[in-house]
Chains A and B, each alone.
Chain A
Amino acid sequence: MFSTFRIYILIAAVALFACHKTAEDANNDGTTEQHTTTPLQNSHPTVNMVYIPGGEYKPFYGSDTALVQVPPFLIDERAVTNEEFLAFVKANPQWQRSRVKQVYADSNYLKLWPGDTTLPNNADPEAPVCDISWFAAKAYAKSVGKRLPTLDEWEFVAMADEKVANARKKPEYSNRIVDLYLQKDRQFKAVKKTAPNYWGVYNMFDLIWEWTDDFNSVMATEDSRVGEYDDKGLFCAGSATSATDVLNYAAFMRFALRGSLKANYTVANLGFRCAKDSNALAANKK
């Protein structure tokens, strides 16, 4: 009789406790955590930022004559790795697999991770982190005092091969990249194992697709002021009429990928690297 009584008390306690937990969750709607992102600056001694002087460049989509001025900026020499992202979710539990809100990341977020703070068994900690949303990438960048590169910044760096800053004119430039793009499962390889480009930036093409801050401005054109948004750029012949270099199949692929994304999407071969305004560097140095 006595032991049964004890069990009853235990059950009651558990039930009450469970309710209590739920009530707590309900009260704060889970939103409070989102507001603060714990800084991680000190845990990332290994990633160098490369200074890119910027300059004029011709965007892939747009009119042939319109050059865009890219201001100087800093960009991470490589993508954010599994290990780094693990540290980030440890410090910021709201970005853990089981706790992230679907408005910020779809159900495949970090899908290969066996737990909230465990990397997959066979994963290289030095491989780029994938299966993360734009929101997660942005939150990470903020946590390390950086931001995501803009589309123009990313594409500016992507013009380089190992030898020159702008290799777009070389006939093999696009083909070489396409060759790299077509390899499956390359996202599982470690960063910085292949040669850097002219700027000293690694793995622009051979490991992953990368989020950019304004990935969703892909299809914006100057004509859109008349009110109709020009989505046609990415389909059928339309893509050939608005692209500035119709032989650049690698760029077509990249922009098609960006166009298929929504900000809460997570994709198996999509990761990111961070960037920073270059005056931010000057400020830091002082």
Chain B
Amino acid sequence: MKAKHFLLSASAVLTIALFSCRSNSGSPDTKAGAMAEATGEPEVAQVTGAPNVPAPIGNRGAKKLIVNLETTETEGIIADSIPYTFWTFNNTVPGSFIRVREGDEITLNLKNAANSVLPHNIDLHAVNGPGGGAEATSSAPGKTTSFTFKALNPGLYVYHCAAPPVPMHIGNGMYGLILVEPAGGLPKVDKEYYIMQGEFYTKMSGVKKGLLEFDNDKAIHENPDYVLFNGKKGSLLGKNQIEAKVGETVRLFVGNGGPNLTSSFHVIGEIFDNVYLEGGSTVSHNIQTTMIPSGGAAIVEFKVDVPGEYVLVDHSLSRAFNKGAIGKLKVRGEENHAIFKKGK
């Protein structure tokens, strides 16, 4: 009885102490994840290539996760059957989408492919710790490194390679997004997609005919040849366009790898009902165009009311019309003349 009493008062004191810590910090939303204890055996997290995202975390508790990423240097198509030497996480640009919950304890294993020429690493903006993991994960060709971090702050974060010369590693496509969902998860929506902008500075390879590679001079002058969604011209056009039905809510996880340009992300014909500004916890409403800095992200949500083709652009429009920053959301369903009606 006595013991029980003690326990009760102890836990009361603890709760108060914890609570006071929280209010002292001045940002009640951040660091809350630190209090959750990650439990159970580590599980390998499912990751996806753009435009797909892994299933929502839902209402689970914090757990231990293993995220496996491989860095590669590989030829791919940048536009109109033109090859480019991309550097990637998991062979895609952007790299795999990682989805975790605040409080999760994540062990990140970074393997650098054996046939890589260069060392690579990973800096996740979701990490509290030196270099976001970059120092701990510097991987020579053929080597695997790892580190473990606790996801303290919910939000949508960019990750990227931070091996020098950093602009070159990012400029070749080494970036992706990691979503840290708050406890309880994000509100349910009907469709979720992963879009990441990045610009490419190219020149003809001095060694292999027809192949494009990174041009340092253009990068320094911030004068890209391509500004692209998901690493390829047309990656969200034609049969690759993303889709939704009238009445559905759509959530886009939008990141900007850069390495240099800020994106003015806009969906032509839609208004964002909610924007998690800069990927953080502040939700703004009724936004037409949201600014996504290089090395930043935003979550945008909107309900699609009327069928049609909605064009995704960087509203710095020369990039959309001349350099490739354009995609499409196809919405099918019944017309709703109360909302939109074409005149005669």
Contact = CB atoms under 8 A, between A and B. Distances in A.
Q: Do any beta carbons of A and B sit within 8 angstroms of each other in the complex?
A: yes
Given A235-B123, A236-B123, A249 B134 contact: no
A258 to B, nearest CB: 9
B164 A256 contact: yes
Interface SS, A side: helix
B118 A256 contact: yes
Q: Tell which of A180, A256, A261 has the most Cβ of chain B within 10 Å.
A: A256
Given A231-B135, A249-B216, A257 B119 contact: yes
Interface string A166-198: 000000001110111111110000000000000
A260 B139 contact: yes
Contacts of A182: 73, 85, 117, 205, 207, 213
A204 to B, nearest CB: 16
Interface string B13-24: 000000000000
A234 B162 CA distance: 9
B114 interface: yes
B31 to A, nearest CB: 24
A268 B114 contact: yes
B142 interface: yes
Interface string B191-208: 000000000000001111
Contacts of B85: 182
Interface residues of A, number: 35
B206 to A, nearest CB: 4
Contacts of B138: 234, 256, 259-260
Q: How large is the interface on B (under 10, 10 to 19, 20 to 34, 35 or more residues)?
A: 20 to 34
A182 B213 CA distance: 9
A85 interface: no
B115 A185 contact: yes
Contacts of A237: 166
A268 B142 contact: yes
A192 to B, nearest CB: 19
Given A249-B216, A267-B142, A235 B164 contact: yes
A268 B168 CA distance: 22
A261 B139 CA distance: 8
B35 interface: no
Contacts, number: 93
Contacts of B208: 183
A239 B139 CA distance: 17
A12 B318 CA distance: 84
Contact of A260 (B114, B143, B213): B143
Contacts of B131: 232, 235-236
A119 B141 CA distance: 22
A239 B166 contact: yes
Interface string A249-278: 100110111011100010111100000000
Contacts of A243: 164
Contact of B216 (A184, A247, A267): A247
A252 B164 CA distance: 5
Contacts of B142: 108, 267-268
Contact of B164 (A174, A253, A265): A253
B140 A175 contact: no
A239 B164 CA distance: 7
Contacts of B7: none
B141 A267 contact: yes
A257 B118 CA distance: 6
Contacts of A183: 117, 207-208
B163 interface: yes
A247 B140 CA distance: 23
A185 B139 CA distance: 19
B189 interface: no
Interface in B118-167: 118-119, 121, 123, 131, 134-135, 138-143, 162-166
18 contacts: A108-B142, A178-B216, A179-B207, A180-B207, A182-B117, A182-B213, A183-B208, A235-B131, A235-B163, A235-B164, A236-B134, A239-B165, A249-B216, A252-B165, A255-B164, A260-B121, A261-B140, A267-B141
Given A176-B206, A267-B142, 19 more contacts: A108-B142, A179-B207, A181-B117, A182-B117, A183-B117, A183-B208, A235-B123, A235-B135, A236-B134, A239-B165, A252-B165, A256-B119, A256-B138, A256-B163, A259-B119, A260-B119, A267-B143, A268-B114, A268-B142
